[in-house]
A and B are shown apart, each in its own frame.
Chain A
Amino acid sequence: MNNEFRYLLAQATRGRLDRRAFLGRAAALGVTGAMANTLLATAVRAEGPRKGGHLAIGLQGGESTNNLDPALALTQVIAKLLGTAGETLVTVNADGTLNHVLAESIEASDDAQTWRFKIRSGVEFHNGQTLTPEDCAQTLRRHSNEDSQSGALGVMRGIADISVDGDYLVLQTSTPNADLPYLMADWHLVIQPNGGMDDPRSGIFTGPYKLVDNDYGVRHTMEKFENHWNDAVGHFNSVELLVINDPTARNSALQSGQVQMINRVEPRVAGLLGRAPNITIQSTPGRGHYVFIMHCNTAPFDNRDLRMALKYAIDREDMLERILRGFGSLGNDMPINQAYPLFDDTIEQRSYDPDLARHHYERSGHDGPIVLRTSEVAFPGAVDAAQLFQESAARAGIPIEIIREPGDGYWSETWNVQPFSASYWSGRPVQDQMYSTAYTSDADWNDTRFFNDRFDSLIAEARGELDLDRRKTLYSEAGLLVRDEGGLICPMFNDFIDAHNDTIAGWDPNPNAELMNTQAAIRCWSVG
């Protein structure tokens, strides 16, 4: 690297030379575009965040029916909005550790039943009010009280008492729960003044950006909140979330520079889009997975051999390649993968085995077609995936009949109602939460009707176990039980595929959710 190039690089890094001019002059010095680009990216990162600029993000998953109440928020766009304008007590880092946001420190009693969160002082709400531990307590109460319609109600269920002690928020759980702080990272639980009891839709939070205008299902605009407590986040002057539900329109908006960042790039175009100049595809292995679910208590799926036959009759490799175009990883009929802490990677990977499938199918004594219900809303490519499943099962002599259900009403009429259907799960930060959301006997959404006493006791024991090795063993056994006894067929885990153009720096993948665990807007910066 000669001196002139070094000078150019320094100029470009500080933004005195725009990127195109830099690449042009670098080429004149005999440095290839790709090389110069990489060097620039490294140099920019080393330089640290640059303040200023405007960020526009094109997002799938917004509707004109949205509203600002975090308890009722379900769509991706509101999740991003809350992650940008709001703050929870903690968030989960990429490596599975906790990032202390509004909770400065966390202490647990030895029995893991009393948790004390020290609430950060000097934090200001967007309306000028100062954050108190009481605001935090009220927020949690609103999400867990009897009238609650909150999406986080399930998460809050184990909490028996919420109180305030000086600077501390104190939570009592009814049973020991070693993962309790992780539950506080649920994105519904952004802290509001007086917990949003007065006005849940006020849009007043503590995040680095404050809301300016909301046009639901169209656009949300935010500007920098000058009194934010943390200088390490929130580098743009303003942020705009544009709802672009159509995938092709989203790609075009990124390509034409109308937005700098998009979510949900379709696997089949991700490769092509990545080839466009100036665009980077960010594919992050996550915990979300695509599933076919059988009700273990409903004929014919109450027969373990039939369930095993179907588990062996699905060609996972083929499905991963064709449905996700390789942007994912193989599933092993349990909802947990290596993205979770305490995952046991010695559990054998199940693969397509027509002979074994045929063997189990014959032993089950079942006769006649097995009805599988699917829909394009079950997961992207769910209809095609069902057909692939049908074909691979037919090769094992198992007849599957596909019924394609309308997307409208699928989640109320088919999923969790019909005994065999396609669906998806997004992951949870920890194993306990995933299992107790959908696999324990008393789970709110036991969509495989899996009732197994041994499994329930394993999960309950692991929840209160503070010894990590022991916990890992317990989770390993629980995972095997779901894999071998349960009604879950999980062929693949999907990656989060986001994309941004070259005006964005500071991207840091996080397996917890798309767009850097919804924090892209507050952690990235502009290199315009």
Chain B
Amino acid sequence: MHPVLKLVIQRLALGCLLLFAATVLIFAGTEILPGDVAQTILGQGATEQALANLRATLGMDQPAVVRYFQWLGNALQGDFGTALTSRQDIATSIGRRLGNTLFLASVAAIIAVPLAIFLGLLAVRYRDRWPDKLISGITLASISLPEFLLGYVLMYVFAVQLGWFPSVSNINDSMSFWQKLNAVALPAMVLTLVVLAHMMRMTRAAILNVMQSAYIETAELKGLRRFTIIARHAMPNSIAPIVNVVMLNLAYLVVGVVVIEVVFVYPGMGQYLVDHVSKRDVPVVQACGLIFASVYIGLNLLADIISILANPRLRHPR
């Protein structure tokens, strides 16, 4: 068997194992949450009788191990059950939310990833001169500000003062693609600013690392343009660390944007998860956890595989 294929298969197997471990953790985590589902659903206004009635309806009386395997079996078949609180089918409602989250994440990623890599290349080209310092300065400043503050600032300027974009990024099925793009303009901008610095700095550092090599010197002696050397000769050899950072940031765009969702009232996965955690709606929390874990593990797996494939020593073994 080709060693690359073997490595890739190993990675995939490891990913599956990791996912299984994650399911155990998710289930155990939701089991030890303090508080009682029935109490949280009915809130401060619950009477003892109402509580007892609800607990019986929810079937909270079976042992945890039994419930774990039931849940895992169903989840593998794409059945996450129904939400305890709204009694809606979880897969359907998550589907809608996940679609929204992926839409926002893609818009942000399509802007942020090429921009970050291009800025990284530019920073290397003008290393230690003003463009480098300007790029680093701006991106570091934007990553240092808390994202909700960035959100409020952009909202104040572009929604309240200029009125270009809506401050409430509510999207729904009746909107056209362009209306949706307009609605997510502000959150996508904030997310771009938040993830830009990390990817840009890593691109810069990784390429600078390669720039010391002898073959770059050769390329320079051949008389190639400096930017061509960086983009065509240096970058392919530093792809592994860059891909890793890009994937980490993509994963963040999918699973970590709850603050932005709250600020811009965006109907994504984050707010959906938080609502259900606070209501102890365990099936939904588990389903969200599983999806988030899969996204994280999946994207990292992809990064690993790309790194492996990008490594000529692995592709062409002696």
Residues of A near any B CB (own CB < 8 A) = 58, 63-67, 72, 74, 146-151, 153-154, 201, 213, 215-219, 242-246, 248-249, 252-253, 255-259, 408-409, 411-413, 415-416, 444-445
Contacts and interface: CB of A to CB of B under 8 A. Distances in A.
Given A216-B86, A411-B44, A258 B267 contact: no
A249 B263 contact: yes
Interface in B35-59: 35-36, 39-50, 53-54, 57
Nearest to B51: A149
A215 B172 contact: yes
B7 interface: no
A413 B34 CA distance: 8
Given A63-B275, A64-B276, A258-B166, A252 B34 contact: no
Contacts of A412: 34-36, 39-40
Interface in B255-271: 262-265, 267, 271
A246 B159 contact: no
B45 A252 contact: no
A246 B262 contact: yes
A330 B168 CA distance: 36
B20 interface: no
Main secondary structure of the interface of A (DSSP, over half): loop
Nearest to A151: B45
21 contacts: A64-B97, A64-B271, A65-B275, A65-B279, A72-B42, A148-B50, A149-B54, A149-B57, A151-B42, A151-B45, A153-B47, A216-B86, A219-B172, A248-B152, A249-B263, A252-B156, A253-B168, A256-B166, A257-B163, A412-B40, A444-B48
Nearest to B162: A256
Contacts of B54: 149
Contacts of A255: 160
A67 B35 CA distance: 21
B35 A413 contact: yes
A377 B315 CA distance: 57
A99 B114 CA distance: 63
B155 interface: yes
B281 interface: yes
B156 A153 contact: no
B278 interface: yes
A219 B173 CA distance: 12
Lowest 7 A-B CB distances belong to which pairs?
Answer: A65-B85, A409-B35, A63-B275, A412-B39, A218-B267, A67-B86, A252-B167
A65 B168 contact: no
B263 A72 contact: no
Contacts of B40: 409, 411-412
Contacts of A67: 85-88
A217 B270 CA distance: 12
B262 A245 contact: yes
B271 A217 contact: yes
A217 B275 contact: yes
B83 interface: yes
A260 to B, nearest CB: 13
Main secondary structure of the interface of B (DSSP, over half): helix
B93 interface: yes
A258 B47 contact: no
B160 A256 contact: yes
Interface in B80-109: 83, 85-88, 93, 96-97
B30 interface: no
Given A64-B276, A217-B271, 5 more contacts: A151-B43, A218-B265, A246-B262, A248-B155, A413-B34
B263 A246 contact: yes
Contacts of A146: 49, 53
Contacts of B265: 218, 242-246, 249, 253
B272 interface: yes
Contact of B167 (A65, A215, A253): A253
The residue among A218, A408, A445 with the most chain B CB atoms within 10 A of its own CB is: A218
A249 B264 contact: yes
Contacts of B39: 411-412
A258 B152 CA distance: 16
Contacts of B45: 74, 151, 154, 445
A183 B13 CA distance: 62
Interface in B124-141: none
B142 interface: no
Contact of A64 (B49, B57, B93): B93
A58 B271 contact: no
A212 B36 CA distance: 34
A58 to B, nearest CB: 7
Contacts of A154: 45, 47
A266 to B, nearest CB: 14
B170 interface: yes
A376 to B, nearest CB: 13
A342 to B, nearest CB: 25
A64 B86 contact: yes
A429 to B, nearest CB: 15
A252 B155 contact: yes
Contacts of A153: 47, 49-50
Nearest to B272: A64
Contacts of B57: 149
A67 B168 CA distance: 23
A256 B167 contact: yes
Nearest to B276: A65
Nearest to A200: B87
A216 B271 CA distance: 11
A150 B51 CA distance: 10
A245 B40 CA distance: 19
A256 B41 CA distance: 35
A228 B49 CA distance: 37
B41 A72 contact: yes
Nearest to B155: A252
A444 B44 CA distance: 10
A64 B258 CA distance: 14
A458 to B, nearest CB: 24
Nearest to B45: A151
A150 B46 CA distance: 8
